Structure 1
Amino acid sequence: MLDVLLVVFVGFAGGLAVGTGFVAFLVVLGVIPRLTQLTKTMKRIHAYEWGAVFGALVGGWVSLRHSVFHLSKYWLAPIGLLHGIFVGMLAAALTEVLNVWPILAKRIGVDERIVALLMAIAFGKVVGSLFHWLYFVDHFR
């Protein structure tokens, strides 16, 4: 019984630590307000906030269970597209808040070619993702 209580306590403490870090990340960096500014949807900021809350709750619940969703293969494209949009918007808001690209361009000496730098990064991500899915996913079936 003591072992079970210790596991529950450690799990709860770990969840609190991760949740606090996630909230600090969103609040300190102002990711959600900046995302609403970039998309010009400031009136819907509460929907973004609740979306983050429910997304964290559902993600935590699914990761704690051995969930298997029996969906058709035709759902993969829309679900993958939505995941890509989420990650892309979050990354764009984060880099916008931190001004990463101008600092990186100055450090590597390509101030005047920042568009080329961004396109190289985007194409690199696309090629890397395609290589991963075409080689690793199909190769190990």
Structure 2
Amino acid sequence: MEYLIVPIIGFSNGIIVGSGIVALITLLDIVPRLTQLTKTYDSIKIYENIIIYSATIAAFLSLTTLGIKLGIIIIVLTGFLMGIFIGLLASALAEVMNVIPVVIRRFQIEEYVIFIVYSLVLGKTLGSFLHWLFLH
């Protein structure tokens, strides 16, 4: 039964992750902006292929038990950098969608914004740390 369910879950995972990545990249215009900043317009197909292959490989690896033996310092540093990336990406998406200004105006919480931002940052950091500490 497990051999029947795992491929279905893996295929569903690939479709969902792939659709989400394509939507996010399209919404934020990441590839055109990257080529504009680096002045590498002729390499746009390479960037797109790297993104597609990376998403496919990541979806596949999430279903396996493969691992790379690294030292604890490298693992902590990688986790820290991945957290920074995810936080910046979420902030960019929220800014593009104009979520923050709409929520602030709608709930009339202008004077509490700094506390909300700090609580989100600390909550995410603490949650990630506890997850890493107790589940890995």
Distance 1:126 1:13, change over 3 A: closer
How big is the shift at 1:87?
0.4
| Structure 2 alignment gaps of length 5 or more | none
| Matching of residues 67-78 of structure 1 within 5 Å | 67-78=66-77
SS of alignment partner, residue 70 of structure 2? coil
- In the TM superposition, residue 138 of structure 1 has moved relative to its aligned partner by 4.2
* TM-score using structure 1 length: 0.63
Q: Percent identity?
A: 26
> What is the TM-score with the length of structure 2 in the denominator?
0.65
1:30 aligns to 2:25 (yes or no): no
1:109 matched to 2:123: no
User: How far 1:107 sits from its partner (Å)?
Assistant: 0.5
Deviation beyond 6 Å, 4+ runs, structure 1: none
CA distance, structure 2, for counterparts of residue 12 and residue 77 of structure 1: 28
Aligned CA RMSD, in angstroms, stands at 3.8
Amino acid at match of 1:68: G
**Residue deviations 1:92-122, cap 9 Å, x none?**
22112100111011111134x4xx51x3244
Please tell me whether the aligned partners of residues 26 and 32 of structure 1 are also in contact (alpha carbons under 8 angstroms).
yes
Q: Structure 1: which 5+ residue stretches go unaligned?
A: none
Structure 1 residue 20 corresponds to structure 2 residue 15: no
Q: In structure 2, which of residues 25, 37, 41 is the aligned counterpart of residue 41 of structure 1?
A: 37
Paired with 1:16 and 1:139, the residues of 2 have a C-alpha distance of 28
1:32–1:49 contact (8 Å) kept in structure 2: no
